[in-house]
Each structure stands twice: as C-alpha cells, then as structure tokens.
A and B are shown apart, each in its own frame.
Chain A
Amino acid sequence: MFKLLFLTIISVFAKVAYAKKSVFMPPEASVYAHDADKLYAFILNVSAVSFVLIVLCIAYFGFRYRRKTANEKTPHMSHNLKLEIIWTIIPSLIFFFMFGWGWKLWNQARHAPAKALEIFVEGQKWSWGFHYKSGRKSVNEVYVPVNKPVKFIISSKDVIHSLFLPAFRKKQDAVPGRYTSLWIQPTKKGEYYIFCAEFCGTEHSSMIAKLKVVSFKDYANWLANDPYKEMSLSKIGKKVFNTSCAACHNVNDTNKVGPGLGNLWNSKSIFENGESLVADATYIRDSILNPNAKVVKGFPKGVMPTFKGQLSEQQIRGLIEYIKSLKEK
C-alpha cells in the first residue's frame, strides 16, 4: 500500500518535472535559452510539486489532529532513523542532479566557439558603447547577424555594470580594470533588450540598450555604411545639427524659429506652464524625442517635430555633446 503510494508520487513527480514550458520567461532567442529553460522548468516543477505536497501534508495534519479536548495525550515519537535517512537522501539526490545539469549548461554558456565574431562592449554611467573590429562604434544599439556566434568582450569605464540579455538568459558583469565576456548565438531575428543589472547609480534603470539581430547581409551593410567613421561625438553632433536642427535653431544665443542653443547647457529653461529646469542631457534628449511636452516660454506649441525613430542613440548623444561644446566656447 505504502509502496504503491510512494511509487505513484515518484512517477507523478517525474512526469510533471519533465513537462517543458518556460513559464513567465521572455521569448527564447537562442538554443542556449531553450536549454536553460528546460532546466528552469525542471526546477520549477520539482519545487511546485514538493511545495504542494508539504502544504497538503501540513493542512491535513492540522485538520486531522486538531485539538479536541484539553487533555489529549500524544505519542512520544522522538525520531525514526530510517525515515530521516530517506528524507535526507532523496532531496540530496535531486539537488545534486540540479547542480550537475546547471554545471553542464554553464560550461556551454561560458565557452565561446573560437570562430565567434567579437564585439567590444564598454559600460559607463549610463550607457552601453559597442565597438566593432572594423572601427564602427555605436551607442546603446548593437547589430549582430542571426545564427552566428557573437562574443561580447566587456569592460567598464567607471563602476561595475552588468550586461543582461533576458532573451538569451545570460548576464555578465562589466568590471572596471578587467575584461569579462559573454557569448550568444541568436536564432531569431528581432530586437532584444539589454539591461544593466548591477546597480551603477542615478540612471541605472535607464541604462538600456537594444540588441538588433538581423540577416548577415543587413549586418554587413550596417557595418560598412558608417557615416561617422572616426568622428568624435561632438563632430557627429555638429553634422546632425547642420542637417536636422539648423533650420530653426541658432548655435548662438539668438532666437530663430526656436530658441538659440548657444548658451543652453546648464542654464535655466522656463516653460509655458511656468515650470522650469536646468538643461541637462536628459532634458536635451527629451526635447529631441518629445519636443512638445515642455515648450519654452514665448514659443508656440507643436512647431518642432519629434525626431523619435529618426535619430540613433549615437546621433542623439552627438547632439548633446555638440550643444555642450557650444557653451564651452
């Protein structure tokens, strides 16, 4: 009888534990993500089943043995070696099975194939810079070809950050003073988030980059067409300014269609609604992407178009650097 019960529990356990489903996880964008999710599902199912058994057991005992009269006698059960050995060994076996499985995947996860494409990543407060071997640089966006192994060689300019790719189930800290690495082999085209997972200060939560997985051709095109080859950020900004902004904004203090930006950086801007703030990088960025949220006093609303989707992170950062440099002159 007990044996039967025991066997049933074990077989239910085994069945549930092998159900494959990545509950609550983001989409799987690589083979490794899929493998890691299988282990995740195993641990999740084992945990869920054990938890339910524990709770049912407690609930049953609580109900069955609730106190009925004040002076009930209880049996003196101090220990039972056999039982105790069994319930020490079974969880141990399960735990070490998990360990071994985790180790196996870990080895896979940590050793990039020798032929992997290498991209340098530098974290800094608060953005991710990507540096290809061709000399192409980008900020907060990185293009990689689908189905090719890619190895990120990671460092940090200031404090510790952590490169976290949820869709690939991987993360690795970016530590100043040393290189670390992380590799992926994306199997699906698309856009994926890269978060910073190690607390790095005020804008930690906005230190988000996009990983763009594209066909090899698109990747090669992107790499070859670098309009800003070997240009400094503020030079890039100047170029963008002249084509996109100069029609309405002067680079000195005088107004045109919009306010002159020569003295903007770190000075106070006053808005139509009476609020004001000191112009910093975030404000400039907001003004480019969402210009009508805060309209400077004396200027009509709805005149400046948004540049959302038209300017890359690199271009926006260039503009910020350029506007900064106007003030410094």
Chain B
Amino acid sequence: MSNLTDKNYLNCEKGLWSWLTTLDHKRIGVMYLISIVIFATLGAVFSLLLRYELFSAGKDFLTALQYNKVMTYHGAIMTFMVLVPGIPAVLGNILLPLQIGAKDVAFPRLNLLSWYCLMAGALIAMISLFTTGVDTGWTFYAPYSIGSAQSGTVFVVLGAFVMGLASILTGLNFIATIHQLRAKGMTFMKMPLFVWGLYATSIIQIVATPVVGITLLLLVAERLLGVGIFDPKLGGDPILFQHFFWFYSHPVVYLMVLPGMGVISEVVSTFSKKVIFGYKAIVYASVAIAGVGFLVWGHHMFVSGQSDWAGVLFSFITMFVGIPTAVKIFNWMTTLYKGSIEFRTPLLFALGFLFVFAIGGLTGLFLATLSTDMHFHDTYFVVSHFHYTMVGGAVMATFAGLFYWWPKICGRMYHELSGQIGFAFVFIGFNVTFFPQFILGAMGMPRRYFDYLPEFEHLHAVSTVGSTIVNIGMVIVFVTLYRAWKNGEVAGDNPWGGTTLEWQTTSPPPHENFTKEMEVSGGPYDRP
C-alpha cells in the first residue's frame, strides 16, 4: 500500500521547468490534460454564445458575421484542439505504458515534442483571433475559404496543420510502443482493450493525417499564391477539396471514439467484476471500424455533385461500420449480465455512453441511407448526430476514463456524490440540448444558420436551456476532479479491483511505473 509521500512521478521533481522538460509519459499526459481543459473551456464559451444567440429567432447580440466566426471557432477548437488530442494524448499517454507494463513510451522525446507541436499549432490558430478571424466553418470548404474576406483563415489552417504533426507523432509513438514494449507474456490477444483502441486510433492518425495536412497546405498555397487547385475560377475543382478533407475527417471521428470505446470496455468489465464478453469480437470490431472507416468518406458528399454510383458505393460500405458498432454494444450489455455491478461515477458515465452512443449510432443509419440523407444532410439532424457521437460518445467516455483512473493518476479518490451529480447534469443537459435538434433537422432546419424561421423557435429555446445545464455539469465534473487532486482521500493502489497491469503498481505510480519487471500469463480481464 502506497503512501502519498513516497517518491512518485508527481513529486520526484519540482517546479514548472521540470514539467516543461519532462520526458515522463504520465507528466506529459497531465500537461495535455491541462491544456485541453483550457481549450475545451474556450470552445464551450463559444458554444454558449452560439446557443444564446439561437435562443430566439432574429438577431440578438451577435451579427451574422460574428455568429459565423463563433461557429467556426467552436467547431475548429473542439475538433482539432479537444477531440483529436483528447483521449489518445491524455488518457493514452498516461495509461498506455502502464497498461502494457512498460517504463515509458518508445520515444519519450518525441512524445514531448508532440505536446509542443500541439501548443505551437494552437498558438498559431489563436493568432487569428487578433486578425479579423475566420468564418469558413471548421470544414474550410473551398472555394469559400479561398475567397473569404476574413484574414484569420490562413492562421487557423496552418495551426491545424501543425497540430496534425502532433497527432502523427503521437500515433507513431504509440504504435512503436505497443509493438516493442509489451510486458513479457503479453501477446496481442492479451492486451487490454483500451490499448487496442489506441492501436486502431494510431493507425488512423498516421495514415489519414498527412492527407489533411497536404490539403491544408494546398489551401494556403491557393489562398496566398493563387495556385489553382480547388477554386474553379483558377481552374481548380472544389469537390476535390471535399474528397481530400473527408478522407481525413471521416476516419477522424473514429479516431476520437475508438479509444473511448476502449475505456468503456475497461470500465464495464471492472465495475461488473466480470471478464469482458467477446474480447476477440471487440478487438476485431475495433480494427474493422478503423479499416472500413477509410472507405466511407463519400457519405458526407451524397449531394455534393459526386457521381451517383459513388454515392451508392459509399452508402453500401458505410453500413459495414454500423455492424461492428452494434456488436460492441451487445458485448458490453452481455458483460453486465450476471455481473456484480457497482454504480460508481465511472460506470454511470459508461452507461451514459451506451445510451447516447446508441442514439448516435442509430441516427447514423438515417444518414447512411441514400434517400433519407438527401433530406437530413446539412440540417440540424447532422449537428445532433455528431454531437451524440462526439460529445455524448467521446466526451462521456473521457469522463468515464478520468474518474476511473483518477485514483491512479493522482493517488486520491474523488467525492462520489459530487461525481454522480456531475454525471446527472451532463447526461440530462446533453440530451435536452441535442435531442430537440434531431426534430429540428427533420423539420428542415439547415445547420450553420444564424437566424431561422419562427416555427423552429421553441425547440431552439429548449436546446439552449439544455446547453446551460450541460455546461454546469462540466464545471461540477472538473471541480470534483480538482478537489480530489488537491485533498481527496488517499485511494490505494487498486480501489476498484481492476485486473489490468496499471492497478498492480502504486498510486500514483513511480517515475518508471513499476519497481519490478512485469509478466503476464492470463487474459487482461481474467479474475481468479
């Protein structure tokens, strides 16, 4: 049993400088966490501005142009600065080496470099706030992004490019780590499912990110130098931009959600005290989602002017993503069956994840099917669908993971009741915010609208109320975690009875994670 005054990764060195130059994966993970919480706060402030502007029809306190900029910053920050680095770089960094019994990641210096890349990219993007900003939407569709009068566009695009480097480096590092540094006896089929989620995600990061990187550079070249690639006025093709863009941005949604699904597997197994059901199926499903995810980008473009046959093919392949997703949900449900289920905050978030992710996944069917997508495309139905998967899915999973591993990360236990209250606010607020948006979309309300017809007003008002509740929930969650870090009760090494390797070292772990060489014989979730 540890004692928090023992040497651990948090207290072995002191001072800001020791953090900024650290090579310890856990410290880098904590630095990612702090930076991403700051970015997310910024993104949330922008989202509240949007929601309050949309509270009633007509212009309230923003102009149309300001609304569009706020909408762009919200989307760009949340995607490039929160979700993409979110789970992989925070929980992945802290837990990947611990879960496979390694001292650190394969390339600790590269790991630190990728944090600096994220910071540099974020800084470059934020410089745009001191220009006239950006108003293109986070998708930067050409030719609008080429002709837009807002001078911040180039900064945000370049920022996204540099942040892409961070993502590639993290992916590379994780793949090398997983291949090289597993504990003795840990074959691929004995790796924890969170590690599998990270593995699948890393593949996406290194294969897809370079494509968007090049696309963004081409966009900058076109904007600054007038090289004609995407703008028809210069002889380019705007649909080409969309192909390039979605070739990255579709897999990226799985990049966000696959490690999240990994977290859910860990949490569901631990809190029902039961071996995960269908380990192999979950592994294959993760890899299948990552692989098939590369072949479905055209489902964002059914009505873009791409060929009809391309639409048919992309719709067909998209259905293949639905299958492994459904399979995973059934596996988690069956894991609960005959378990010994304890309802602590991490499990509540995990069950919350199942609830909202099921809705996110099922509504995906409406968008994957050709003729229904023709109606729903670019309406609030889509806004709601991706918030259900990204916020409901990825963010809920992140919270599940943070509460689950918090005792490991800081050695202290959060306050259970405030954790549960935080969950209730997030869960209820989230559904109140986004469920009405499905209805708005069905009614025909297009997205990225600063103003709308009077018949859409009631549902928008409900949605705005919900956004307030969910943001209160986020504050409660972070206050709970912060207070635990400061003066929570000492948690012990393995408060949940977890079976994976990270629970076998002290909390918080020492600088090089384990005091002895780790060895594995059984499966990751086997219980004696």
Contact = CB atoms under 8 A, between A and B. Distances in A.
A66 B334 CA distance: 14
A173 to B, nearest CB: 5
Given A102-B373, A173-B305, A205-B449, 16 more contacts: A23-B442, A43-B372, A65-B339, A73-B340, A76-B526, A77-B338, A79-B278, A80-B278, A91-B323, A95-B323, A164-B378, A164-B446, A169-B375, A175-B239, A202-B135, A204-B448
Interface of B: 64-65, 68, 135-137, 139, 141, 143-144, 147-148, 232-233, 237-239, 272-281, 303-305, 308, 311-312, 315-316, 319, 322-323, 326-327, 329-330, 333-334, 336-343, 351, 354-355, 358-359, 362-363, 365-366, 368-375, 377-379, 439, 442-444, 446-453, 523, 526-527
20 contacts: A40-B372, A62-B336, A73-B340, A74-B338, A75-B274, A76-B527, A78-B279, A88-B327, A101-B369, A102-B373, A106-B315, A170-B374, A175-B305, A180-B305, A195-B444, A199-B137, A203-B64, A204-B64, A204-B449, A205-B451
A99 B379 CA distance: 21
Contacts of B308: 106-107, 110
A58 to B, nearest CB: 6
Interface in A7-28: 23-26
Residue among B280, B316, B371 having the largest count of chain A Cβ atoms under 10 Å: B371
A78 B275 contact: yes
B147 A106 contact: no
B222 to A, nearest CB: 14
B330 A87 contact: yes
Nearest to A35: B371
Contacts of B447: 197, 199
Contact of B442 (A25, A54, A160, A193): A25
B444 A51 contact: no
Contacts of A201: 68, 135, 144, 148
A2 interface: no
Contacts of B64: 202-206
Contact of A26 (B141, B337, B378, B444): B444
A99 B338 contact: no
A84 B327 contact: yes
Closest 9 CB pairs of A and B: A177-B232, A166-B444, A102-B369, A105-B371, A205-B449, A72-B340, A106-B370, A47-B362, A24-B442
Nearest to A208: B453
A61 interface: yes
Nearest to A111: B308
A103 interface: yes
Interface in A190-232: 193, 195-206
Interface of A: 23-26, 36, 39-40, 43-44, 46-47, 50-51, 54-55, 57-58, 61-62, 65-68, 72-80, 83-84, 87-88, 91-92, 95-96, 98-99, 101-103, 105-107, 109-110, 158-160, 162, 164, 166-167, 169-173, 175-178, 180, 193, 195-206
B338 A36 contact: no
Contacts of A176: 143, 232-233, 238
A48 to B, nearest CB: 8
Contacts of A88: 323, 326-327
Contact of B369 (A62, A99, A193, A200): A99
Contacts of A177: 232, 237-238
Nearest to B241: A160
Contacts of B327: 84, 87-88, 91
Contacts of B375: 25, 36, 40, 166, 169-171
A160 B323 contact: no
Residue among A24, A83, A102, A197 having the largest count of chain B Cβ atoms under 10 Å: A102
Contacts of A92: 319, 323
Contact of B315 (A36, A57, A72, A99): A99
Contacts of B378: 162, 164, 171, 197-198
A99 B368 CA distance: 8
A96 B370 CA distance: 12
Contact of B322 (A95, A167, A170): A95
B133 to A, nearest CB: 12
